[in-house]
Amino acid sequence: MKGKLTSLLLTLLFSGNLFAQGGSKISVGLNVGPRLIFGDRTKTGEKESLGLGGGIFMNFRILPFADLSLNVGLSQLRYTANANAPDGLGNNFTAVGTGDLTANFEIISKGMFRPYISLGGGAMVFRRGTSIDNGYAYFGGGGFRIHLNQNLALFLGSDYRLTTTDRLDGGAEEGTANDGFLSVNSGVVYSLGGGNMSEPNVIADERAPFYEVDDMGDYDTGNVATYTPADDVYGNGDQGKDMTEYVRLKSRLDELAADVDSREGEISKLRKKVKNSKGQLTEMERQAAGKGKTRLPRKKSMSGFSDIYQQALANMYNKDYTEAISLFRLLTQQFPNHSMASSCQYWVGQCYFEMKKYQEAATEFYKVLAFTKSLKKDDALFHLGKSYLQMGSGDRARESFLRLMKDYPGSEYTVEAKGYVARL
């Protein structure tokens, strides 16, 4: 018995299993590990040894913290037929084929280390010599997974299986209790689907969000305002003037930020202007948020990048997102090499985000990252992460926030990104 326990301990220390839930609800793989029979015919002095088993399986993620697993396996259960046989002789084995359904429940369903418990049952067919028999098994166990990335994880687990037969340990007649055996599993699994930050895959793992994203500072997605062709002016008064000035200032801010990237000699001066403009813009955003929806004058004619850009911004802040998207796309098509083309692409994603179309928003934010030079990459990464959170894809959101923190440590979004990472 002491040798048996030592063997099991060594197995637990050195066995490993690659396992993935990743970005897919389905994963497949194989496992292998030792098996140890527990029967009622064991006698003092009999030799006991470990058998070996393995199998293939398919997992189906049904809840953020639970999955079902279909398993097909083959095991060798070794036992001693003759207690008086010399060492190395008299050892026999029973070959057992199993088909199981297992439910795995994660105690911790986020992060890298995820312990779990499992319950299940299934049918089995076993053979001793030329004799073939069948029965059922019910089992429970547990273990842990260490997720390395979206597609691979380390796994170690075991379970004890109580069978409905007493014939596994070589007895020709039924004994006083049914047989059972201990399984320790290791292997490799591959997640079907999934994704990473190298391609714009925005399908969420689960649709339920982990928590509501704090959108303080973003624009309210209330009723969408629409333009009436017959109207030359939507409104007047202080609110209209304030919003017009807000749009003009925002347009100028983006132009100054683009100039910073292209004019090295004026970086210090322009950065100061950008900082001052951002301060004014923040104050105007606060005032605009307090006033709510404001109608803006609509220009009868537009020519050149700046005119169209300002009109697109005006549409967006007036919550006419469909018209804003149309104008921003027009700019990216007609001016693909413009220094502010990436800003236009970013605002397309922002419009979809405000419309709560988070999958489309994530796709558009991802396109911003393809630009060689862009001052909107940190903005895009931050809102890409928030889009993934709204879709329930916590792992991808965490990747976006970590990339933002690594590549743009001085970004205005870094502190908030750290907060989201700490909560995932």
242 CB neighbour count, 10 Å cutoff: 15
Residue found by looking up tokens 């637990």 in the block: 12
Say if CB 388 and CB 204 are below 8 A apart.
Answer: yes
The full set of domains in the chain, from first to last, is: 2-192 (2.40.160.20), 238-423 (1.25.40.10)
CB within 8 Å of 86: residues ≥ 6 apart: none
CB within 8 Å of 147: residues ≥ 6 apart: 20, 21, 111, 112, 114, 153
Which of 262 and 412 is assigned the larger pLDDT?
412
**pLDDT band with cut points at 50, 70 and 90 for residue 170:** low
**pLDDT band with cut points at 50, 70 and 90 for residue 307:** confident
Please work out, in degrees rounded to the nearest 5, the angle formed at the alpha carbon of residue 120 by the alpha carbons of 118 and 125: 135
User: Which of the listed ranges 10-19, 23-32, 287-296 does the model predict with the highest average pLDDT?
Assistant: 23-32
Query: DSSP letter at 299?
Result: P
- Summarize the confidence of residues 293-308 as an average pLDDT: 61
* CA-CA-CA-CA torsion sign (239, 240, 241, 244): positive
- Summarize the confidence of residues 125-149 as an average pLDDT: 85
Residue 302 has pLDDT above 90, yes or no: no
Say if CB 53 and CB 78 are below 8 A apart.
Answer: no
Tell me which of 12-21, 81-90, 388-397 is least confident: 12-21
Give residue 420's pLDDT: 93
Q: How far apart are CA 233 and CA 305, in angstroms?
A: 22
pLDDT tens string 278-292: 666 556 555 544 444
Residue 146 has pLDDT above 90, yes or no: no
235 CB neighbour count, 10 Å cutoff: 13
**pLDDT band with cut points at 50, 70 and 90 for residue 347:** very high
Which of 208 and 370 is assigned the larger pLDDT?
370
What is the average pLDDT value for the chain, to the nearest integer?
A: 75
Which of 92 and 32 is assigned the larger pLDDT?
32
- Summarize the confidence of residues 33-61 as an average pLDDT: 76
Alpha carbon 319 to its chain's center: 31
**pLDDT band with cut points at 50, 70 and 90 for residue 181:** confident
